[in-house]
Amino acid sequence: MTFTKLHLALLASAVIAVPTVATAQPNSDERPARVGFEGGFGIYGGEINCSNSDGNELCDGITEAAGLDLHLNYFFSESIGIYADVWPMVHTEDNWTFTHNVVTVGVKVRPAPILTLAAGVGSAQARVSYEVGPFEGEKKSEVAPAVFVSAAVEVLRGRSFALDLQARGGLGFYGSDENDTSPDITGRNLGLGAALTWF
């Protein structure tokens, strides 16, 4: 994955913040529990890439991207819950913008108090908008099946919020049919960033 300036800024922030936060964190016994409803957003740097069924890379030039997510979770206990997540990644260049949006629902687990893993299924859609002189236009792909995975490490927890550093990936499978289960094109969102969640 190509590192952008946003990647470097996020990594630098993490390196600086983690030791400070670790000394300020309460003992695990004193941490407020994360149970019930949660909601928040994240900001990510990363890339959009895609390949066809022959394995050839497509999306030439559509690599570096930035995005955000909106997420809603419900934890039945401190270790397992469910989620809904909307995650567009956007690449803008000259007079056109490419967006790949992945929307999923699934399961989140916390094998440790500061580690959250997620996996889910849903839908994806690609969109290109452009402007040439006085002309503007937009094209959208079909809505396609998608899968999602993420891993997050909590670096700060307050009384009603938490800040996580997160790596995530989402895949959209375009063009498959009943006779051919392999997709014609696979689109990918890859992101590294930080998410703020209230509980």
| Beta carbons within 8 Å of 42's beta carbon, 6+ residues apart | 68, 69, 71, 164, 166, 193, 194, 195, 196
Q: How far apart are CA 91 and CA 45, in angstroms?
A: 11
Q: For residues 92 and 128, is the Cβ–Cβ distance under 8 A?
A: no
Residue 130 CA neighbour count, 13 Å, CB half: 6
Spelled out in words, what is the top-level CATH class assigned to the domain 5-25+34-198? mainly beta
What is the residue-level pLDDT of the chain in tens, covering all 199 positions? 444 454 444 444 444 444 434 434 445 556 778 899 999 999 999 999 888 766 566 666 568 999 999 999 999 999 999 999 999 999 988 888 999 999 999 999 999 999 999 999 999 999 989 887 778 888 898 999 999 999 999 999 999 999 999 999 999 999 865 666 667 889 999 999 999 999 9
